Amino acid sequence: MAQRLNFDPSNIPRPDFSGNIYVATRRALIADNDSPDILTEELAIQHLEDQWETENAALRVLYQVQLDEERQLVEQRRQEAIDLENKREAEKREKESELAKKAEEKRTPLHSFTRGIGVISIPQQIHPYAKKMMITRKYVPLWYLLPEAAAEAKERSKDAIDANRFQIAMDDVDNATSSLSLVGSHAVRASPNAIPDSRLTWDQVMRAKSAFLSALPLGEFTNEFVAMFAGFYTGMDMHPEMQEINGDRIMAHYHAEMRRAWYDAFERRKPFDLAVFSERTLEESRVEIQRQNNAKALKEMQSATAQLRRELQQLTQTPAPHTPSPHSKTRPAPYPPTSPRKASGTKNSETTSFQRSFRNANQAQLARCHRCLCRDKHDIRRCTRTTLSGGKRDVLCNWNSKGYLEITHGTHAGLELCAEWQRPNGCTSRKHPEKHRCSGCASTLHGAEGCPDGQ
Full 3-state SS string of the chain? CCCCCCCCHHHCCCCCCCCHHHHHHHHHHHHCCCCCCCCCHHHHHHHHHHHHHHHHHHHHHHHHHHHHHHHHHHHHHHHHHHHHHHHHHHHHHHHHHHHHHHHHHHCCCCCCCCCCCCCCCCCCCCCHHHHHHHHCCCCCCHHHHCHHHHHHHHHHHHHCCCCCCEEEEECCCCCCCCCEEEEECCCCCCCCCCCCHHHCCHHHHHHHHHHHHHHHHHHCCCHHHHHHHHHHHHHHHCCHHHHCCCHHHHHHHHHHHHHHHHHHHHHCCCCCCCCCCCHHHHHHHHHHHHHHHHHHHHHHHHHHHHHHHHHHHHHHCCCCCCCCCCCCCCCCCCCCCCCHHHHHHHHHHHHHHHHHHHHHHHHCCCCCCCCCCCCCCCCHHHCCCCECCCCCCECCEEECCCCCEEECCCCCCCCECCCHHHCCCCCCCCCCHHHCCCCCCCCCCCCHHHCCCCC
Report the predicted TM-score, pTM, of the whole model to 2 decimal places: 0.43
- Cβ(146)–Cβ(207) under 8 Å? yes
For residue 365, give Cα distances in angstroms to 26, 216, 287, 387.
94, 43, 12, 22
Q: What angle do CA 145, 148, 154 make, to 5 degrees?
A: 95
| pLDDT at residue 342, as a whole number | 40
- Cβ(182)–Cβ(100) under 8 Å? yes
| pLDDT at residue 180, as a whole number | 66
Residues 6+ apart with CB under 8 A from 249: 201, 202, 289
Other residues' Cβ atoms within 10 Å of the Cβ of residue 253: 25
- What are the phi and psi torsion angles at 413 (to 5°)? -60, 135
| pLDDT at residue 222, as a whole number | 93
| pLDDT at residue 209, as a whole number | 93
Tens of pLDDT, residue by residue, the chain (455 residues)? 467 888 888 888 989 888 889 888 888 888 888 877 888 888 888 888 889 999 999 999 999 999 999 999 999 999 999 999 999 999 999 999 999 988 888 887 777 888 888 877 666 678 889 999 999 999 999 999 998 888 887 777 655 544 455 556 555 545 555 566 665 545 668 888 899 999 999 999 999 999 999 999 999 999 999 999 999 999 999 999 999 999 999 999 999 999 999 999 999 999 999 999 999 999 999 999 999 999 999 999 999 999 999 888 888 875 555 555 555 544 444 444 444 434 444 444 444 544 454 444 444 456 788 889 888 877 777 788 888 887 778 899 988 888 888 999 888 889 999 989 988 888 988 888 899 999 988 999 889 888 888 86
| pLDDT at residue 30, as a whole number | 84
- Cβ(9)–Cβ(31) under 8 Å? no
| pLDDT at residue 178, as a whole number | 59
| pLDDT at residue 190, as a whole number | 85
